[in-house]
Structures are given as C-alpha cells and as structure tokens.
C-alpha cells in the first residue's frame, strides 16, 4: 500500500475514534436509565416466542425470515400501557428497557428458526422421518448461541466504524423515539401497526382457514393467481410461482426493503422467467419447469451474492484487521476511550463462549449424525466467515441471505465429505442459523447504538432470547409439520432447494452439471464487478442494481419478487405524495401486516395438526 493510502487509513481510524468519543459523550445513556431488567426480558421473551412461530411459518412458506424488532417494540409499548391502565402503580418502561426487550424478542423470534425450517425439513423430505426432538432442541440452541457470539467481533467494524445502515435497526430506534416522545403521531403509529396486524390476520385466515363460515360462503383467497402466458413455445405458467399471490405479507416486506433491492429482484426475476427460462427449456438443460429454481439458477444467484459480499470485505481487509485487533491509542482521549471499551462486548467473552460451544457442537454432530468431529469444528469456522457476508448483506439491504450461505457450506462439505447427505445438510444448518442470529444481533445493536444503550447489556438480553425462542419453536415445528406429507403440501421453496442440493452433491461437486458450474462462474463475476464499481465509484450506487437483489431473485419464485416490487412501488408513491406520513407509517403498517398474516397462518397450521392428532374433536 502507498504512503498516501496508509495515511488515509490512519486518518479514517482517527476519525472513527472521534465519532465514538462523540457518541460516548453525547448519546450514550446506558448507565443512567434502566435497561437490562427482568420485566423487559420476560416481556421480550414472550413476544419473541410468538414471533418465532410467525417466522417459522414464513421460512417454510416463502423461505424468508422477517425481523421482529419494530413489531415487538410497538406491541410491548402498547401492552405495557394497558398494564399500567389496569394497575397505575406500575412504572413506565424506559426507552432502553424497551430496546432491551426488543433485543430479547427479536433474538427469540428470528435467530432460532432457520435451521429447523430448512436443513431439518430437508432431512425429513429425504429420509421420511423427523429427527428426535431432543436433538433438534439442543442443535437449535447451540447454533443460535454460536451466532450471537460470532457477531461480537463484527460490531465495532460494521456499526461503530463503517456505520452500515441496518435499516430495521434504524427504524426500530426511530419508532421508539417517536413512541416515547408522547406525540399523537406516535400513538397513531402504534394504532396503525395493530390495525395492519389485524388486517394481516384476516388475510391469513381468508387464505389458509377452513372454517365453517368459509365453507358456507365459499370465500377463500387463492394461493396464487397464475398468469396464463406462453413464450417461445414454453408455458410460463408451469414455472414455479409465476403469478401474483394475494397476500399482504410479501407486499409489506417490499415496502420495508425499498425500491433499489425490490426492483433489482423483479428485473432479475423477469430475466430468469422470460429469457433464460424459455432458453433452458428449449435446449433441454433442465428436465421440467419445476426444476428452474433448484438447478443452475440457484447456483448463479448464490454465487453472485457470495462473491459480492466477499469482495466487499476483501477490499477493506486492512480496516477489518484493525477493527479486530487491539490498537494502542495515545493522546488526551485515552481515558475516555477506555470507558468506551467498557460499554462494548469484550473479545474475551467471545473466546470464552465460542470454544466450548464449538466443541459441544462437534460432539453432538458426531453422536447424532455420525459426522467427523474435526469436520464439525470446521463447520463452525466456516460459519464465521459466511456470517460476515450475511451480516454485511443485512447491514446494506436488510435482507439476510441465509439460504445462500448454507449452499456454500453444502458445496464445501460435498468436497470434504462426499456421499454423505446428512453431513451436507447439517453443515448447512449451522451456517444458516449462525448467520441469521449474527445479523439479528447486529441489527439490535444498531438500534441500541442510536439510542445510547449499553452493548454488553443488549448482548446478555440477546442470549436470554435464544432460550425463549428455542422453547417455543421446537414444539411448534413438530405440531405444524408432523410428517413428510404435511411438509410436502406446503411446497416449501428453501427446504426443497436444500434437499435438491444435498442430493445433487451426494457424489461430490463433480455431480453438478456443466451448466450449473458455468452459472457459478457467471454469477461470481457479476457480483465481483458490481461490488468493485460500487466501491470505486460510491456515487454510482443509486444507479446500480443491487447484487444481493439480483442474486436473491434467482433462488425464489416470481410471485415473491413481484410482490416485493409492488410493495416498494406503493411505498415510493406514498412517499412522493406525502413524505411525512410515509416516513412515519410505512414501517409500522408493513411490520404489523407481516406479523399478523404469518402468525395466523402458523397457528391455523398448528390447529389443523392438533385436529389430525385428535387433540381437538
């Protein structure tokens, strides 16, 4: 590196320290107000347990997990107001207590379900039987805890220094500020979230319910309004999900994600369905339309996201090394910076937790699935590097590419342990869960950073949330999915992809067809080029498509991308017509609809399972 570049790096480091000092002096309030309290953890844990069931459904149905931070904030605030109305002696939760509650809730609701819905579901589809619930519980708990710990060394770099947006974290912080401002608008925001949650519940019941009034009236929303289109002799309506799904859940997700990513997704999906889809069918590269997303398209999209994420980190490797190492500071700010360090989660906590958990995980992997002990340890190491990519994607786009990270683990274990489908799936599961938990923790820490919270206390709240989520999601999984036939009826996209990839790689990476290997190369190059352009010419970012959006569109059906784009366009038009109301209500309304519809659909599935088991008659 040239001398000028070195000086620039040093200047960046000094500016970063100045920003942290300014934060500590003017924003930090973690020691002056209540934060990590029993009532905050209990309320967060209970709300998070419900949200974990909601996210379990969305993970099965559409292959996505949605953050629950904003929903938990508003619900907690509203519920506690009701408690205080009943018992005026109760004191108001502080804003940092509510933020701590948010950390507990989102940890419980977001970081425990991805491994069950994907890898464990794929195991059920392949073998025809469920994994023992005790193994599922231990596995879910350990992988979620690993994810929380793996985020520790990333926090200073991504939040304190780079100041990545983590949109959900910013939105949650702004929502809390608004609620605690006591304005009428804040109360209306809370009401709007509750109202949209009711609308989401109604939509879920209308689409998934099988109640007497629906049988009498014949009213039931269709799963998919298919587009009856043909192109180049190919029946596009036979491709997976080619149509519009009358659901508030994905439209609301697009409202949160925004135009750049959502339009990138729709554009990329149109290229897949209208250009490459007919081409691969006419050239007989894939056997039938239903294999479109589980063939080379999967590998192309995954490679694009991973190459973009890894390139972004590679271009900043010196900054990352500096952030992860202990740098001696000199000058008049030494004492204050030492105080700042006391607020952060110490690296020794990471080491104390990660080493025994990694060993326990490797032992469980060996005893339960007959996977080599050292390969189990390698899965943890690999998960750390892939969690870096996932956290950066979340920080930039608010989307955590859990499935894509799992595919890299599957590729790696196809080379290291060929002919072993179980080790392939389990390696992917640890990556998926650790990546989602890490991204979730950083999102919450972003919110806390903006509010002046103590990062150590948030970290402890996150650890508590993992236990609440595990207790809720394990029985919910076995009730929602009692057998293989029930899971197959959902036609679960991510689960099916995990299964297909594991089977395709069971004979090693050479089992991939030539078209898939070519897709990997093309996707990697596109991701690399977009990342380099964006890094060298940052002002061009708003004109460039999102590599994460482009890649995601090739691993999910058209209906999802269309709904995302519709939601993003609605939010953009709203903002154009009335910016103030859009800024205040878009996120609460969208969050409520997502939570309401997914919860309704999940609990309907659980009720149906209990009826089938003759618990209800």
pLDDT band per the 50, 70, 90 thresholds, residue 566: very high
Is residue 262 within 8 A of residue 254, CB to CB? The reply is yes
End-to-end alpha carbon distance in the chain: 73
Six-digit token string for 464:
């508590």
Lowest mean pLDDT among 44-48, 338-342, 548-552: 338-342
Q: Which residue has the higher pLDDT, 16 or 78?
A: 78
Residue 467 banded pLDDT, cuts 50, 70, 90 = very high
Judge whether residue 327 has pLDDT over 50: no
Per the CB < 8 A criterion, the answer to whether 103 and 44 are in contact is yes
Nearest 10 degrees: Cα torsion 179, 181, 182, 187: -30
If we measure between CA atoms, which residue out of 582, 565, 606 comes closest to residue 478? 606
DSSP string covering 193-224: HHHHHHHHHHHHHHHH---HHHHHH-----S-
476 to 63, 333, 357: CA distances (angstroms): 17, 51, 25
Q: Are 175 and 102 in contact (CB under 8 A)?
A: no
Q: Using the 8-state DSSP alphabet, how is residue 529 labeled?
A: H
Band (309; pLDDT cuts 50, 70, 90): low
d(CA 366, CA 135): 12
Q: Is the pLDDT of residue 612 over 80?
A: no
Give the pLDDT mean for 419-433: 78
**pLDDT at residue 195 is higher than 80:** yes
Provide mean pLDDT across the span 9-30.
Answer: 66
Query: What per-residue confidence (pLDDT) applies to 332?
Result: 43
Select, from the ranges 202-211, 282-291, 531-540, 558-567, the one with the highest average predicted confidence (pLDDT).
558-567
Q: Is the pLDDT of residue 571 over 90?
A: yes
Instruction: Kindly state the tokens that stand for 545.
Output: 């498509």
> What is the bridge-based pairing of β-strands 234-235 and 230-231?
antiparallel
Going from N- to C-terminal start, the domains of the chain cover 23-322+353-612
Token readout for 348 is 């020794």
Confidence of residue 486 (pLDDT cuts 50, 70, 90): confident
Q: Please state the pTM of the whole predicted model.
A: 0.72
φ/ψ bin of 86: left (φ > 0), alpha (ψ from -120 to 50), beta (otherwise): alpha
Mean pLDDT of 561-567: 91
Q: Per-residue pLDDT tens for 502-547?
A: 776 766 556 667 777 788 788 889 888 888 887 777 777 777 888 8
| Percentage of the chain modeled with pLDDT above 90 | 5
The residue that leads in pLDDT, 284 or 204, is 204
Residue 93's pLDDT is: 85
The tens digit of pLDDT for each residue in 367-390 reads 888 888 888 888 888 888 777 777
> What residues are paired with 231 via a beta bridge?
234
The whole-number pLDDT of residue 266 equals: 92
How far is 483 from 499, CA to CA, in rounded Å? 16
pLDDT digits 0-9 by tens, 55-73: 787 778 766 666 667 777 7
**pLDDT for 562:** 92
Q: Mean pLDDT over residues 565-581, rounded?
A: 91
As a whole number, the mean pLDDT across the chain is: 78
pLDDT at position 391, please? 80
Query: Does the structure show a pLDDT above 90 at 298?
Result: no
Q: Which of 47-51, 210-214, 240-244 has the lowest mean pLDDT?
A: 210-214
């Amino acid at each position: 590196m040239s001398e000028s570049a070195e000086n620039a790096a040093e200047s960046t480091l000094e500016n970063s320290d100045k920003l942290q000092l300014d934060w500590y002096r003017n924003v930090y309030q973690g020691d002056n107000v209540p934060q990590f309290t029993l009532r905050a953890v209990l309320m967060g844990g209970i709300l998070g347990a419900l949200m974990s069931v909601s996210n379990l459904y969305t993970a099965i149905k559409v292959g996505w997990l949605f953050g629950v931070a904003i929903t938990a904030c508003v619900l907690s605030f509203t519920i506690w107001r009701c408690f205080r109305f009943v018992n005026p002696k109760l004191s108001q939760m502080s804003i940092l207590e509510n933020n701590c509650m948010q950390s507990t809730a989102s940890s419980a609701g977001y970081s425990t379900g991805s491994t069950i819905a994907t890898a464990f579901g794929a195991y059920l589809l392949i073998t025809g039987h469920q994994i023992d619930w005790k193994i599922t519980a231990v596995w879910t708990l350990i992988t979620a805890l690993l994810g929380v710990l793996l985020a520790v060394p990333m926090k200073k770099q991504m939040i304190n220094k780079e100041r990545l947006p983590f949109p959900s974290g910013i939105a949650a912080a702004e929502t809390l500020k608004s609620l605690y401002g006591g304005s009428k608008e804040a109360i209306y925001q809370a009401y709007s979230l509750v109202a949209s949650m009711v609308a989401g519940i109604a939509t879920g019941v209308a689409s998934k319910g099988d109640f007497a009034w629906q049988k009498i009236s014949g009213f039931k929303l269709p799963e998919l309004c298919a587009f009856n289109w043909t192109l180049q002799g190919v029946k596009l309506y036979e491709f997976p999900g080619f149509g519009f799904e009358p659901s508030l859940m994905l439209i609301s997700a697009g409202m949160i994600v925004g135009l750049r990513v959502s339009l990138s997704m729709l554009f990329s999906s149109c290229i897949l369905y209208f250009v490459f889809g007919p081409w691969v069918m006419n050239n007989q590269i894939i056997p039938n339309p239903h294999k479109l997303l589980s063939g080379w398209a999967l590998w192309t999209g995954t490679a694009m996201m991973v190459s973009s994420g890894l390139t972004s980190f590679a271009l900043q490797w010196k900054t990352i090394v500096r952030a992860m190492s202990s740098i001696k500071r000199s000058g008049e700010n030494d004492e204050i910076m030492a105080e700042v360090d006391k607020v952060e989660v110490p690296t020794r906590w990471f080491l104390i937790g990660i080493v025994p958990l990694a060993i326990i995980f490797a032992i469980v992997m060996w005893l339960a699935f007959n996977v080599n002990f050292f390969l189990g340890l390698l899965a943890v190491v690999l998960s750390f590097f892939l969690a870096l990519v996932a956290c950066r994607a979340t920080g930039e786009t608010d989307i955590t590419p859990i499935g894509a990270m799992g595919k890299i683990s599957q590729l790696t274990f196809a080379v290291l342990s060929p002919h072993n489908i179980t080790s392939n799936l389990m390696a992917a599961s640890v990556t998926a869960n650790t990546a989602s938990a890490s991204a979730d923790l950083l999102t919450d820490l972003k919110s806390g950073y903006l509010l002046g919270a103590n990062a150590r206390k948030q970290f402890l709240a996150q650890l508590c949330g993992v236990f609440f989520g595990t207790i809720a999601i394990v029985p919910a999984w076995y009730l929602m999915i009692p057998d293989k036939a029930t899971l197959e009826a959902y036609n679960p996209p991510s689960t099916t992809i995990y299964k297909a990839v594991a089977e395709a790689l069971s004979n090693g990476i050479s089992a991939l067809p030539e078209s898939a290997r070519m897709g990997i190369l093309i996707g990697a190059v596109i991701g690399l080029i977009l990342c380099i352009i964006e890094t060298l010419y940052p002002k061009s970012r708003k004109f460039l498509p999102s590599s994460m959006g482009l890649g995601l569109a090739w691993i999910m059906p058209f209906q999802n991308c269309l709904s995302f784009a519709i939601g993003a366009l609605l939010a953009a038009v709203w903002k154009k017509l009335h910016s103030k109301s859009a800024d205040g209500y878009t996120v609460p309304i969208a969050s409520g609809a997502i939570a309401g519809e997914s919860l309704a659909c999940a609990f309907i599935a659980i009720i149906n399972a209990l009826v089938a088991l003759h618990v209800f008659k």
